[in-house]
Amino acid sequence: MFGGGGSITLFRIRGIRIAVDWSWFLILFLVIFWLSGFYGDVLDKPSSSTEPFLLALASALGFFGSIVLHELGHAFEAQRHGIGITTIRLWIFGGMAQMDRETDSPGTEFKVAAAGPAVTAIIAVVLIAIGLFSAGYSNFEDAVRLYKTSDTTGFITMVAWLASINVIVLVFNLLPAFPMDGGRIVRAIAWKVTGKRNSATRFAANLGRIFGYLFIGLGIYWAATGSIFSGVWIAMIGFLITGSAKAAATQSAVTEKIEDVRVADVMDRQPVTMPLETTVEKALDEYFLRFQWSWFGVVDSNGKFRGVVQREAAEAIPEGERAFTTVSDVIEAGTSEFRIPEDAYLESLLGNPDMRRFGALFVTDVEGRLSGVITVEQLGMALRA
């Protein structure tokens, strides 16, 4: 849902860094503290005794495990559509899977947004099924309602609590309040209907701001009527939703100005490139030393883009071999990491991680021939214009 600042790495899954913000430990402590007392009452034991504490600890870890699985649902679906995921970060208000770029179609947006709630729904169904099978409807209902007289074991009470908290997470995330999952689903639907990402983002963001204000108002009301902790909590979420939605609306207003501009409209059509047969010695003397760039594009005799040669790779060749070694031996293959089609929309470069990494991308036509180069400076000029 949301993401915070600095974080501590816990582990990695399929190359995805799972990290926690310092505020996560605060919530972990509060959940364990509260549940220890609850489980102590259920088991008729002091909250400081071993069994209530272990149940509280297991419940807290189960809850945050559910959040991780929720975010992994987003992450794995994003990866399935070619979107890289660097980090899943947990913090005081939930978690966020950090994508290296935006989705490129309303269908992909819908699938990625819905994947997290789908995982949470499965977790809730499995936990409810376990509780009903083990304790029966009446006892499990008492446990879900947190009745301290419920005739269930500590384990079933824990299952009931985890089931209820996952249902709450599911319902909350499906609220149409951008940037939460429900808001992103709304954006996907609006995007599909209008055909315009920016208009859809602005609609979802404005809807998110309305919900944000409602949360703030509800939080103030709860705090004024005695539920201070819950009131402050929901009001803070409201402020976060409002701020995030406002930022998304502002960004969409900027990107809307270039949503019909293609890369070919602003690219440099005469980039400096190296022929594939250039020797490393010539590359260093006539290109790297002359232009003082850290890398150059390489083309073959037909003008097709073949990749990028970096200065470090060229300098790594022993001096005695540079006159006989060509850049074809040291180039990094011309994959999508270095290039973009000339008919791509300029907007797609705003969150492009390769553009951030290299400062420019080579532009190719449908047959793979080099058409030009688009730089960060040119992108900035287009945005300013």
Has residue 385 got a pLDDT over 70? no
Closest CA to 358 of 278, 313, 272, 293: 293
What mean pLDDT is predicted for residues 344-368? 78
53: Cβ–Cβ under 8 A, 6 or more apart, which residues? 32, 36, 47
Q: Report, in this order, helix, strand and coil percent for the chain, each rounded to 5.
A: 60, 15, 25
Whole-angstrom distance, CA of residue 151 vs CA of residue 187:
45
State the average pLDDT over residues 123-134: 91
Domains and CATH numbers, the chain: 8-258 (no CATH), 263-384 (3.10.580.10)
Pairing of strands 16-20, 8-13: antiparallel
Summary mean pLDDT of the chain: 84
Q: Structure pTM? A: 0.71
pLDDT per residue as tens digits for the range 173-223: 998 888 889 999 999 999 999 888 888 888 999 998 999 899 999 989 988
Instruction: Quick: pLDDT tens for 216-261.
Output: 999 899 888 887 877 888 888 888 888 888 888 877 777 777 767 8
